[in-house]
């Protein structure tokens, strides 16, 4: 099945922006959301110039504003004439050691990554249930497999929530026309990854990472750790091996 009309949040940079480029090259119509509307408009203009046959709609959106999420998703559905796929991608990588006086960073990450994802799922599934079809994609993280210490604690906890939400919705909707995919990327070269200090030896290029994500999305896999066999192996290790064996990964 071709999902022609695709909404992507967090589309002004990084993984979201690159996924938009991949889907535009395939001739898909796009609805792009992010807080930085000027950057979104630049992406829109680039994609329209490169692929004049597609529709690209943009909206400013803070995913921590639930009412705005519901409204904007509805507006974009109406502008494109429907939505076939929603990619819940918007996220933050802020963080500090808990109890060191930087609760603001940790709370912002938790609100954006988990509560914001829940708002997006509410909006997307409200649309999909009415039309009795759709593909919901949640971008989680390998860090969801095991709580990470120090400044990554809130981030890994928020992504664990996203993975659990994806698992719950996959089970609930398994016999319905609505498909749920949860992606667990490892280290992929983005601005967020570089600021987090991720291991360069384990970091995939942005092209390789997004190619793997788009491939898993198109296959409509329920759960995919990526990119490549290396991250599939790390995913299994973090979930099933004793902490003493996997401490090198966290």
- Tell me how far apart the alpha carbons of residues 164 and 34 are, in angstroms, rounded to a whole number: 24
User: What's the CATH number for 5-249?
Assistant: 3.40.50.720
Q: What local confidence, expressed as pLDDT, does residue 29 receive?
A: 98
Q: Has residue 196 got a pLDDT over 60?
A: no
Burial pattern 1-10, b for ≥16 Cβ within 10 A else e, equals: eebbbbbbbb
Confidence class for position 191, pLDDT limits 50, 70, 90:
confident
Residue with tokens 């991608």: 89
Instruction: Give the residue, 199 or 92, on which the prediction is more confident.
Output: 92
Give the chain's mean pLDDT.
Answer: 95
Kindly provide the residue ranges of all beta strands, DSSP E only, lying in 14-72, ordered along the sequence. Answer: 29-34, 56-60
Q: Is 187 a catalytic residue?
A: no
Cα(29)–Cα(250) distance, integer angstroms: 39
Q: What is the pLDDT of residue 194?
A: 58
* pTM of the full structure: 0.95
- What gap in Å lies between CA 10 and CA 4, rounded to an integer? 19
Handedness of CA 125, 83, 117, 139 (dihedral sign): positive
Domain layout of the chain by residue ranges: 5-249
Catalytic residue among 23, 155, 187, 231: 155
Asked whether residue 42 carries a pLDDT value surpassing 60, the answer given is: yes
| CA distance linking residue 228 with residue 102, whole number of Å | 35
- Higher pLDDT residue, 8 or 201? 8
- Asked if 66 contacts 47 with a C-beta cutoff of 8 angstroms, the reply is no
List pLDDT tens digits, range 86-131: 999 999 999 999 999 999 999 999 999 999 999 999 999 999 999 9
SS3 82: coil
Cβ–Cβ under 8 Å, residues 155 and 108: no
């Amino acid at each position: 099945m071709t999902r022609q009309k695709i909404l992507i949040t967090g589309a002004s940079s990084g993984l979201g922006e690159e996924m938009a480029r991949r889907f535009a090259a395939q001739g898909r119509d796009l609805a792009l959301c992010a807080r930085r509307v000027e950057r979104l408009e630049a992406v829109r203009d680039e994609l329209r110039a490169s692929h004049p046959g597609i529709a690209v709609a943009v909206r400013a959106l803070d995913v921590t504003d639930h009412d705005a999420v519901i409204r904007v998703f509805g507006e974009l559905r109406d502008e494109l004439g429907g939505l076939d796929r929603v990619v819940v991608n918007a996220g933050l990588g802020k963080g500090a050691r808990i109890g060191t006086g930087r609760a603001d960073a940790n709370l912002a990450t938790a609100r954006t990554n988990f509560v914001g994802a829940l708002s997006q799922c509410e909006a997307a599934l409200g649309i999909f249930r009415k039309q009795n079809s759709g593909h919901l994609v949640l971008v989680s993280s390998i860090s969801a497999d095991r709580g990470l210490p120090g400044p990554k604690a809130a981030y890994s906890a928020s992504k664990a929530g996203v993975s659990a939400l994806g698992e719950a919705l996959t089970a609930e909707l398994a016999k319905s026309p609505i498909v749920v995919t949860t992606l667990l990327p490892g280290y992929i070269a983005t601005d967020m990854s570089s600021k987090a200090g991720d291991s360069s030896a384990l970091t995939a290029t942005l092209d390789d990472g997004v190619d793997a994500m788009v491939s898993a999305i198109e296959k409509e896999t329920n759960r995919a750790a990526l990119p490549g066999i290396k991250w599939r192996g790390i995913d299994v290790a973090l979930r099933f091996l004793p902490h003493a064996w996997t401490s090198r990964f966290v």
